[in-house]
Chain A
Amino acid sequence: MIDNQKFTDWIDRWLRNELTETERLEFEALRRSDPVLAQRALEQQQLVKAMKNYGQRTDFRSRLNRIHANLDMDCVREEVNQLSKVRKLHRNGGTIRQLWQTYRPILAVAASVALITTFGTLMLIRQYQSSHKQQEQYSMMRRDLQAIRRSQNAILQDLNARERALQINPGQVAGSGFLLSPDGYLVTNTHIIQDADSVYIQSTRGDIYKAKVVYADNKYDLAILQIHEDSSFRVKAALPYGFEAAPSDLGERVFTLGFPREEVVYGEGYLSSQTGYRGDSTAYQVAISVNPGNSGGPLLDEKGNVIGIISGKQTSSEGATFAIKTDYLFRAISAIPTDSLKNNSIRMSRKNGLAKLARKDQIKKIQENVYMVKVFKHEK
């Protein structure tokens, strides 16, 4: 067993590389064989190293202090001044960069807040809009309730563009109408001739007659027109179709003629309900496809009886067209003050001469009595 002091001495000499070759071999062998001695060697090595580091740093510090003491501080200050001048010049270009570096975290927070606010607002607006849309739909329904007929999406044909091209008085509406009696009384929808300055009717042949509004019934959306003192209008002996006031049955095949465009258009369908829009008992629901301009056209059954007057359709569902029942046409007519008729009562026939004809022949006869109603208004 080697004594502690001697071993310590050996470590010192080992660290200083002063061991002879034999001593070194013996020392290495000792370290390998005895972990306690190895540990002591390691600790002493650490200690000496720490001391050396200490010495090195102390020495370096005193060197630095010596240099600093010999430093010409005025000269250094002068140089610092120059530097800060240069930096100030430099800074003029770099102010933004510097501000950016200083306030970058704040900017980041501000930017995120802005983003969140923006998208939050957008989402809120979208939500509000969608809920608002529902409200609009709802209020539309309410307006429908208040004035049911108007709500039925009056089928009007807006001729604005076309007639403006013809340089005629703008603000026109067109619909359909048909003869009630051979002497020139016609029926159409009130919504067509509303606010009209003048009303003209045009036959399928292109003849145009001036008409006057004899009576306008807002309740049933029915208006009675009379061809106005026009000698060219040829009074007919009788109308080919009759009027059927009795309610028709569901499933009845029906057809209509109207003017969704300049030409008369035929449409076919069936009676789908005894009541109209929202249970309106004055109208039928008909599965027939109509377009703006069909309003005021006759609705005829298989045999050629007029059973209604096309008045509107429901936009939200396909093939739901409404026609005012003929019964209410009679009621409207009977409500006309006798003055306005100038003592000429409207002679409506219930006789029907079409019953046994094929459809195309029926149409041929009917279409002569169906007119396009053109309405001229003051532009509001």
Chain B
Amino acid sequence: MTESNRSHLSDDQLLAGLANGSDAVLEELYKRYFPMVMNLILNNSGTEDDAKDIYQETLIVLYEKVSRDSLELHCQLKTYLYSVSRRLWLKQLSTRNRNGNSLWDTDERADVDDDLTDHEARDRQFDLMADSLDRLGEPCRTLLEDFYIHHLSMQDITEKFGYTNADNAKTQKYKCLMRLKRLFFSVFKEE
């Protein structure tokens, strides 16, 4: 893909596509700024895998902000992504016990403090949920995921799991949900 083809989508179009869940736009976005972030990471004692992790995390920050409709871009999308990646990488470096206070970079940066604070809170919630679901075990996990995440109807679930009727399925779902609730809130409330 040449440079001119790649830039035909504006920042706003990219963000709109991202919110819609368009795979093409996401791919376009992914390709457009990955080299920039990779350059940053490689220049600051990171590997290609580090670059991938940091970039994907950055896109998650962007995606979750966009899907909440809470993204206020005060700068170019490029600058925003760069700033977020930079901060994430700094954090990563400091957890690896290296001097992460001064990166060799010159690009202008945006203030992304608030966004990253939100992101950290969501990160904790995500990890907690992943942990709770792991401990929940099968078939509860799949049942709840199908119902709450994939929005299957009780009828579909009854058929899928081979329950004799929808009421059985409902009872099963209820029990699973109660267990998940205990697992999740036992930690969540402590925080």
Contact = CB atoms under 8 A, between A and B. Distances in A.
Interface of A: 4-5, 8-9, 12, 16, 43-44, 46-48, 50-57, 60-61, 63-65, 67-68, 70-71, 73, 76, 79-80, 83-84, 87, 90-91, 94, 97-98, 101-102
Q: Which 10 A-B pairs have the closest CB atoms?
A: A55-B149, A79-B35, A54-B129, A83-B39, A5-B174, A51-B148, A80-B39, A64-B56, A80-B35, A67-B30
Contacts of A63: 23, 26
B27 interface: yes
Contacts of A102: 102, 104
Nearest to A82: B35
18 contacts: A9-B170, A9-B174, A44-B177, A51-B129, A51-B145, A54-B149, A56-B64, A57-B64, A63-B23, A63-B26, A64-B56, A67-B26, A83-B35, A83-B36, A90-B106, A97-B106, A101-B102, A102-B104
A50 B34 CA distance: 29
Contacts of A68: 30, 52, 56
Contact of A8 (B145, B150, B177): B177
Given A4-B174, A51-B148, A71-B30, 17 more contacts: A5-B171, A5-B174, A46-B188, A47-B177, A50-B128, A50-B184, A52-B148, A55-B149, A55-B150, A61-B60, A64-B56, A67-B26, A67-B27, A68-B52, A80-B39, A84-B39, A98-B106
A48 B185 CA distance: 12
Contacts of A83: 35-36, 39
A53 B129 contact: yes
A46 B125 CA distance: 11
A16 B151 CA distance: 9
Q: Is the interface of A mostly helix, strand, loop or mixed?
A: helix
B135 interface: no
Given A53-B129, A68-B30, A68-B52, A80 B149 contact: no
Nearest to A40: B181
Interface of B: 23, 26-27, 30-31, 34-36, 38-39, 42-43, 48, 52, 56, 59-60, 63-64, 67, 102, 104, 106, 122, 125-126, 128-130, 133, 144-145, 147-151, 170-171, 174, 177-178, 180-181, 184-185, 188
A16 B38 CA distance: 41
A62 to B, nearest CB: 11
Contacts of B128: 50
Given A9-B174, A43-B181, A76-B35, A50 B63 contact: no
A101 B149 CA distance: 47
A12 B67 CA distance: 22
Contacts of A47: 177, 180-181, 184-185
Nearest to A86: B39
A345 to B, nearest CB: 100
A12 B147 CA distance: 10
Contacts of B30: 64, 67-68, 71
